[in-house]
Amino acid sequence: MPGRVMVITSGKGGVGKTTAVANIGAGLALRGKRVVLVDADIGLRNLDVVLGLENRIVYDLVDVVEGTCRLKQALVKDKRIQELYLLPASQSRMKDAVRPEQMRALCEELRKDFDYVIVDSPAGIERGFQNAIAGADEAIVITTPDVSAVRDADRVIGLLEASSLSSHKLVINRVRMDMVRKGEMLDQEDVVEILAIELLGVVPEDEKVVISTNKGELVVTESGSAAGKEFMRIARRIDGEEVPIEEEREGFMDWLKGIFGRRG
Amino acid sequence: MNRVNFKGEGDRVFLVIYGNPAIEEIISSIREKVSSFPGFFAGMEVFLSPDSEIDGDKVEAIRDEMSRLGLTLRYGDRGEARRDGFTSPKGSALIVKRTLRSGQRVEYDGDIVVLGDVNPGAEVVASGNVIVLGTLRGVAHAGSRGKGDSFVLAFKLMPTQIRIGRVVSRAPEGECKVPDGPGIAFLRDGEVIVEDYHPGHPAIV
């Protein structure tokens, strides 16, 4: 049974795509799935750093596409999690080194051997983005709850809707509940109202993410991380489990239930 | 040699005139064609093709003749179709059946009705009126060819910018009173005014 190919994209840079790809992918692998993470950010690769695998890279995606090596030779096995693999991007080349058709062929090849192929999209809507979505069936759009990011996410969703991808879901990332309560952070009802796609998860701002990234570790494996917990719940939802979007925080639960109830 | 022709394009009929024939030749050609198919042309709205090279002063004579024959000639901004006071000519409204997302733009010569929202970063540009059966958060331009009596109407008017005719306007800085329900924006004394919409609002012409 061929695997699922999904792309995680956003339009805006810095909203947490790479972190999400790494942690959601790891979450799925921890549940026993075979997962490969594909870094499509040619020239500005980051997924390897977030995973702490940067010193294990020999070949990359461009090498595979140009036939310099076989696909299996380029895959880097994760140092901690069984069944989690990385196909790194090239750091020295540029986005035009790969064409969408090549990405499509690559993803088709990968899905034969993996349950999940998760593509990390670069920011923007040009060639890098086009490459990243070329082989995917599903998209996860990440946004932070601010006007700029939502504007970009809306643009991206418009492009996804015009493409051949069959499903688009939303993750709102880096939410600061204290600011939301004070009315200083964008009302999430507004985010969902404008973007009008299914909500997959709401990830709180968590300083453990910064710390972990620098150490090449993943919050999804850390017991005390609120963001890590939500990434794991997102992985479970992707895998078909019914996990309600709720949190045991006073006030937050009722208000989120309100959103969920409205969208449900 | 037939220098006067009616040509169908899309859902419109154009009057195409080649060269600059004498007005008498034009009139008699039109009469001849229309009388060959009286049922077909009855009550029809015909657009003077932009490719036509005739002098402007002939247009009035052509319009009068066509009126006599039961047709309406539309020519540039001056050739207003005969209106009965409460409907627009058939085929002059574009209906968009979905939400417009950021970066999407719709432009049309006529009225535009959006059955959905217009998100920030989206643009609706109409030579006529703009009607949004949803929330307008993007940019709407009504009367894009200069028609200052156009309006923008939305269930929720929260636009980034409204343009009516040649006037560009944005909400005042800071908190501003946005109509709770449906709102309508129109020009009064060269300024964009936003008011609560109600059936029969005077801005709707």
- Reading chain A (264 residues) residue by residue, the pLDDT tens digits are 899 999 999 999 999 999 999 999 999 999 999 999 999 999 899 999 999 999 999 999 999 999 999 999 999 999 999 999 999 999 888 888 999 999 999 999 999 999 999 999 999 999 999 999 999 999 999 999 999 999 999 999 999 998 989 899 999 999 998 998 898 898 778 899 999 999 999 999 999 999 999 999 999 999 899 999 999 999 999 999 999 886 534 455 556 665 665 544
The closest of A101, A103, A21, A25 to A62, measured between CA atoms, is: A103
B160 vs A: CB within 8 A: no
ipTM: 0.76
- Residue-range domains of chain B with CATH: 4-74 (3.30.750), 93-196 (2.160.20.70)
**DSSP string for residues in chain A:** ---EEEEEE-SSSSSSHHHHHHHHHHHHHHTT--EEEEE--TTS--HHHHHT-GGG-SS-HHHHHHTSS-HHHH-EE-SSSTTEEEEPPPSSS-GGGS-HHHHHHHHHHHHTT-SEEEEEPPSSSSHHHHHHHHT-SEEEEEE-SSHHHHHHHHHHHHHHHTTT--EEEEEEEEE-HHHHHTT-S--HHHHHHHH-SEEEEEEE--HHHHHHHHHT--GGG-TT-HHHHHHHHHHHHHTT-------SSTTHHHHHHHHHHHH-
pLDDT tens-digit series, residues B78-90: 333 434 445 555 5
Q: Please tell me the distance in Å from A155's CA to the nearest CA on chain B.
A: 5
Q: Which residues in chain B are contacts of A152 at CB distance < 8 A? A: 102
- Residue-range domains of chain A with CATH: 4-263 (3.40.50.300)
Tell which of B96, B97, B100, B101 to mutate to test the A interface (max A CBs under 10 Å): B101
Tell which of A12, A129, A148, A154 to mutate to test the B interface (max B CBs under 10 Å): A154
- Count the neighbouring beta carbons within 10 Å of the beta carbon of residue B182: 18
**Residue among A152, A158, A193 whose CB faces B104 most closely:** A158
**Residue among A151, A161, A193 whose CB faces B121 most closely:** A151
A179 vs A165: CA distance, rounded Å:
35
DSSP code of residue B42:
T
Residues contacting A223, CB < 8 A, separation 6+: none
Q: Which residues in chain A are contacts of B119 at CB distance < 8 A? A: 154, 194
pLDDT at B91: 64
Please answer whether residues A35 and A118 qualify as being in contact, where contact means their C-beta atoms are separated by less than 8 angstroms. Answer: yes
DSSP code of residue B115:
S
pTM above 0.90, yes or no: no
- Reading chain B (205 residues) residue by residue, the pLDDT tens digits are 577 888 877 677 888 887 778 888 888 888 888 888 777 887 788 888 766 667 767 887 888 888 888 888 876 533 334 344 455 555 679 999 999 999 999 999 899 999 999 999 999 999 999 999 999 999 999 999 888 899 999 999 999 999 999 999 987 776 666 778 999 999 999 999 999 999 999 998 6
